[in-house]
Amino acid sequence: MIFGFLESFNDSALLLYIGVIAIACAGGGIPPMLERRRRRAIENELPTFLEALSDSVGAGRGLQEAMMEQSEANDGPLAALLGETLKEGHASSFEASLGAFAAKTRSSQVQRVMVLIETAIQQDSSLRDILADLSRDYERLNDLMNRRESELQGRGILIILFVSVGLPVLIAFIVGLFAPASKGFQISSFNQTFSYFFAAASAVGVSVSGRMMGRFKDTLWWLPMWMAVSMGLYLGAVKVVGG
C-alpha cells in the first residue's frame, strides 16, 4: 500500500526528494526544540534565583554558600544543574565551577550573568546590588521574550496552516472539480508548476513564521517537511478529487 501510494507520485521527483530530505531533517529539528524548552525553563528561573541570591548575600552569606543553599532549597532545572555542578566542582575553584555551570546551561543569559558575577568578585564589588539589578533586568527581558512568543505564536501557526495546508487543498479542489484528469484534461504541466509554487510558498511562510517568533534557525529544520506536505497535499488532493 505504501509503495502504491508513493508510486502515484512518480511523476513528481522533486516531491519524493524533498520527502526524503524532510524525514532526515525532522530528526535534526527535534533536538533544538527540546534544547530550547530546557534553556527557556532555566532562563525563566534565573531572575527569582538571582533575587534569592541577592537576599542571601545581603544577609551575610558568602556567594558560594548562598548558591549551594538555593540549589538545595529549589527544584527545577536551574537549581538541579547548579547543585550538581557545585558538588562536582569540589576539587576545583569556585570560579571554575561557575564557568562549568554557565557552559552546561548553554544559555547566553546565564553565561552573561556568570561573567558579570566573576567580574564583580574579582573587582570586589557590592554583589548584593549587582545581583538585585541583574534579577530585575532579566525578569523584564524574560517577560518580553515570553510575551513576544505567546502573542506571535498563534499568528505564526496561522500562516503555516493557511499557506502550507489550506491553500494547496483549496486550489486542488478547484482544479480537481473544474478540470478533472479523469475527463481528459491535460493538467500535468499545470500541476507541476503549482506544486513547485506551493513548495516555495511554504518555505516563505515557514521562514516568516520562524523569524516572527525569533527562532528562524530552528525552524529551518522543518522547512523541507512543510514543503513536502504542501506539495503532497496538492498533488494528492488533485488525484483524489479529479481522478
Partner 1 sequence: MRKLDEKRELLYVIRTMDVLMSSGVGLEAALHTIGKGGYGIISEDFSAMMKRLRKGNSGGLGPELKSQMKIAESAGYKRLLNTLYTNVTQNTDLVETLKKQGTRMEEDRSEEVEKYIEELGGVPETLLSIGMIGPIILAIVGLVPQLMSGDLGAFMSLPEPAVINSVVNIGLVVTLMGMALIGLKAHTKDPGL
20 binds partner 1 (CB under 8 A): no
Q: What is the rounded distance in angstroms from the CA atom of residue 126 to the CA atom of residue 202?
A: 53
Alpha carbon distance 243, 32 (integer Å): 41
Query: Which range binds partner 1 by CB under 8 A, 18-26, 74-82, 121-129, 217-225?
Result: 121-129
Rounded distance between C-alpha atoms, residue 120 and residue 47, angstroms: 18
Q: Is 243 in the site for partner 1 (CB under 8 A)?
A: no
Contact letters (x/-) for partner 1, 191-220, by CB under 8 A?
--xx--x--xx--xx-xx--xx-x------
Report the alpha-carbon distance of residue 130 to residue 2 in Å, rounded.
62
Nearer residue to partner 1 within complex by CB, 74 or 180: 180
Q: At 213, is the secondary structure helix, strand, or coil?
A: coil
Return the residue of 14, 48, 185, 192 that touches partner 1, per CB under 8 A: 185
Q: Does 240 bind partner 1 (CB under 8 A)?
A: no
Query: Which residue's CB is nearer to partner 1, number 68 or number 241?
Result: 241
Helix axes 13-58, 108-123, angle to 10 degrees: 30
**Rule CB under 8 A: is residue 153 a binding residue for partner 1?**
no
Look at residues 152, 174, 171, 156 and name the one whose alpha carbon lies nearest to residue 230.
171
Does the protein bind partner 1 through residue 155 (CB under 8 A)? yes
Contact status: 96 vs partner 1 (CB under 8 A): no
The nearest distance, CB 142 to partner 1, in angstroms, is 10
- Nearest-5° Cα angle at 61, 57 to 63: 65
- Give the binding site for partner 1 (CB under 8 A): 111-112, 115-116, 119-120, 123-126, 130, 133-134, 137, 140-141, 144-145, 147-148, 151-152, 155, 158-159, 162-163, 166-167, 170-171, 174-175, 178-179, 185-187, 189-190, 193-194, 197, 200-201, 204-205, 207-208, 211-212, 214
